[in-house]
Amino acid sequence: MFEFGEGAAGSYVSQATQQRVKRTAVVLTALLVAVFVTIPVYVMIAIAVQSPSSAFAGGSVQLFVDSLSFENFRVLLTETSTPRYFFNSIVVTASSTFLSTVIAVAAGYGLTRFDFTGKTLMARAVLFAYMFSPIVLAIPLYVIFYTLGLLNSYFALTLALTAISAPFTIWLMWQYFQTVPIALEESAWVRGASRTRTIWDVVLPVARPGYISAAIFSFAVSWNDFTMARVVMSQDEMYTITVGASLFLDRVSIGWGETMAASLLIAIPPFCIALFLQNYLLQGFNVGGLE
Amino acid sequence: MASPIRLDSIRKEYSAAGNTHVAVDDLTLEIPAGSFTTIVGPSGCGKTTTLRMIAGLETPTAGTIHFGDRDVTDAPPQDRNAAMVFQSIALYPHMSVRENIGYGLKVQGVDEAERDRRIEEAAETLQITAQLDKMPSELSGGQQQRVALGSAFVQDPDVLLLDEPMSDLDAKLKAELRVEVQRLHKELDATVVYVTHDQTEAMTMSDHVLLLEEGELAQFAPPGDLFDHPVSEYVARFIGTPSTNMLPATVEATGDGYVLTDGQFSVPVPGDLFADRVGDDVTLGVRPQYLDRGGGSHGVRVRVDVVEQLGTEYVVHGETTDGSKIDVVVADDAGLATGEDFDAYFEPDDLFVFDDGGDTICHGDALSQSQPA
């Protein structure tokens, strides 16, 4: 945000002025966000819920919805493989989210609770891996999966997606576990709880905001992924919804209306998650140093 | 059953980046069963490390630890039947107070009815019954501390370890909980080891005090002994507030015996202790409380620097003529102003004499016997 100096007091600008500047900045930012996010989303919804004939009547896009129609969704769900794509997306997203979160919790716990040689190196490598764009990993992974005969499998795509999300989730959990006082665990040990029991009873409940953030992040990566799915999956029945929807544009029988309807469907799960789990998301990312 | 704790030549080293840091060095002592022992010392002297080794959270580099006849040196913390209260309190934020206190019992497989009975008993002792179904975050600092104490003693441990449990509390709560902890100790059949950097806590609460100096044992004795018979300058300085005054002096032979003198005073001393120290530099330790403006057998001149009022008494911070710092506790400041001079008197009975290595040569009781009748 716009702030002059460290805080309100002690700067040359009066606090009232700072307040005004802050408020103006917030409003401006909100407007910018609205222009770049809300308007496209609105266009998407508007096209999706009108029948193609009324949406594009008169040669221009009809942005004021006057007749609701679920024609686009009907076409999408009955005449295309959208349900199949959705199913594929759900399978790989769920498995990758689970895998990435489990890896992150295990790695975060290990990195903060045990001393071993090469620990710093490993931690840096994790962060370094996060700098790669997915496409850098995609080609080598393709070669590997091809050699192993794993192309067109949920298993391969799950691994590929985890490779993209895990560096960040590991880093997140590593940071998060640093804020969980080890005295909590020690106190459980002294009271007779084994290390494993302590992890279930104490560590995991306390780390919950952390791993929920990690899970949300890996969910977002997997659900929205295009690159990996495009590279690993080459059969129509194995496509995820993102790849499938992008292919609609190449087909004559499927128009903008259906494509927007597909986009709307894609957007619903992330939207729900952001809506219901935002508190956890903020808690987890605050600790990770992101605000 | 309370068990005695025996430490034998305990040593703990930490290696970090090629440096070896010795946290505890050759510590040997026996803490009697059922006693209340305080480990005290300045920050970084190894007191928490010692406690953590007793708890099993650290393994000594060398030496052995016994609880009674049982060698627990390598036993995991889980099977020592010890309980520990941590400096950070360490309450589980996701469990209610009841669950926090009962967690150890749950781990041990105590059934729920019995568990509830013991939790409620503990809560009653600590006056936190009304808080049992709250979450730790809803409690005040003092209440959290009580819950931590409750979770430790509800398990009926053989050994109860407390790691600076009150360092974050305000003075009033500290005083309150100090009494609480002592009451618990009387009710419990456990050997209590209490770590603190606050020597007032150490002196008021314990049967025995273990004073550490850079990982080594400085003195292990009952509090009164530590106060009256310190074995070294370090002990004398650390125990007691304000700190013991140190007056430099030399041993001199006179016609009819030996004296310690700095030019202003001349304290006769017994020949059997000082005959072969003639000419040596020694240090006289005298507690600020034992210096008296009214009069006494020996005196030093004090120039007033600052006068602090401590309720009923005053602490005068000043300098002697040779520039060494000196504190005097007086009942009445009588308008002492900065820069003013006065005489502070002491009796040989109240002195400690240290050699130039800081070890005690003798205490006041040995000096008073050599007084000319």
Are B309 and B230 members of one domain? no
Q: For the segment B125-182, what is each residue's pLDDT rounded down to a tens digit? A: 888 899 999 999 999 888 898 899 899 889 889 999 999 888 878 888 888 888 888 8
- Where b means 16+ CB within 10 Å and e means fewer, B321-351 reads eeeeebbbbbeeeeebeeeeebbbbbbbbbb
In a domain, B373, yes or no: no
pLDDT surpassing 60 at residue A6:
no
Angle at B321 between CA B234 and CA B268, to 5 degrees: 65
Is A205 close to B57, i.e. CB distance below 8 A?
no
Mean pLDDT of B285-301: 88
Q: Which residues of A touch B (CB under 8 A)?
A: 181, 183-184, 186-194, 197, 201-202, 205-206, 208
Percentage of chain A beyond pLDDT 70 is: 92
* Beta carbons of B88 and A193 less than 8 Å apart: no
Q: What is the mean pLDDT of residues B222-239?
A: 92
pLDDT digit string, tens, across residues B72-125: 999 999 988 899 999 888 899 999 999 999 999 999 999 999 999 999 998 988
pLDDT at position A17: 86
At A81-114, the pLDDT tens digits run 889 999 999 999 999 999 999 999 999 999 999 8
Among candidate residues B237, B252, B278, the one where a domain is terminated: B237
Which among A239-248, B199-208, B215-224 has the top mean pLDDT? B215-224
Query: Are A181 and B78 inside 8 Å of each other by CB?
Result: no
Specify whether B197 is located in the same domain as B244. Answer: no
The CATH number for B254's domain is 2.40.50.140
Domain boundary among B191, B209, B237: B237
Record: contact A189-B77, CB cut-off 8 A: yes
B185 occurs within a structural domain: yes
Of the candidates B83, B92, B161, which has its C-beta nearest A184's C-beta? B92
pLDDT of residue A2: 46
- Interchain proximity B83–A191, CB inside 8 Å: yes
Q: Is the ipTM of this complex over 0.90?
A: no
Amino acid at the residue A176: Y
Strand order of the sheet with strand B351-354? B266-269, B257-261, B245-254, B281-286, B351-354, B360-363
Is the alpha carbon torsion for A117, A121, A124, A129 positive or negative? negative
Query: Could you tell me the CA-to-CA distances from B68 to A111, B31, B195 in Å, in that order?
Result: 37, 10, 21
When CB atoms are compared, the residue of B90, B151, B161 closest to A183 is B90
Question: Which CATH number fits the domain that encloses residue B180?
Answer: 3.40.50.300
- B84–A190: do the CB atoms touch at under 8 Å? yes
Residue B171 sits in the same domain as residue B255: no
Does B280 fall in a domain?
A: yes
Q: Name chain B contacts of A196, Cβ cutoff 8 Å.
A: none
Instruction: Look at A188 and B103 and tell me if their CB atoms are within 8 Å.
Output: yes
Domain count, chain B: 2
Shared domain for B95 and B144, answered yes or no, is yes
Question: Are the CB atoms for A261 and A178 separated by under 8 Å?
Answer: no
| Residue A38: how many other CB atoms lie within 10 Å | 12
Residues B252 and B266 occupy one common structural domain: yes
Question: Residue A82 burial (CB < 10 Å; 0-12/13-18/19+)?
Answer: buried
Last residue in a domain, options B211, B237, B263: B237
More confident position, B209 or B20: B209
- The residue among A120, A191, A206 with the most chain B CBs within 10 A of its CB, best to mutate, is A191
Q: Does the CA dihedral A238-A244-A246-A248 come out positive or negative?
A: positive
Q: Are residues B211 and B249 in the same domain?
A: no
pLDDT mean over B272-295 = 88
Whether B74 is covered by a domain: the verdict is yes
Do B146 and B58 belong together in one domain? yes
Residues B336 and B224 placed together within one structural domain of the fold: no
Contact A192/B108, CB-based, under 8 Å? yes
Domain-embedded: residue B279: yes
**Res B373: pLDDT:** 39
Which of helix, strand or coil describes residue A14?
coil
Q: What angle do helix axes A71-79 and A82-113 make, rounded to 10 degrees?
A: 80
Q: Are residues B246 and B310 located together in one domain of the fold?
A: yes
Average pLDDT of chain A, as a whole number? 86
Q: Please state which of the ranges A159-163, A234-238, B269-273 shows the lowest mean pLDDT.
A: B269-273
Q: Which residues of A touch B57 (CB under 8 A)?
A: 186, 189-190
* B28/B135 same-domain check: yes
Which residues on chain B are in Cβ contact (under 8 Å) with A201? 103
Residue B145 lies in a domain: yes
Expressed as residue numbers, the domain containing B299 is 239-368
Same structural domain, B208 and B65: yes
Q: Which of A21-35, B161-175, B348-362 has the lowest mean pLDDT?
A: B161-175
Closest residue to A206, CB basis, from B93, B103, B104: B93
Do both B154 and B233 map to the same domain?
A: yes
Domains, in order of start, for chain A: 15-71 (no CATH), 80-287 (1.10.3720.10)
Measured between CB atoms, which of B56, B80, B84 is closest to A187?
B84
**pLDDT category of residue A291 using cuts at 50, 70 and 90:** very low
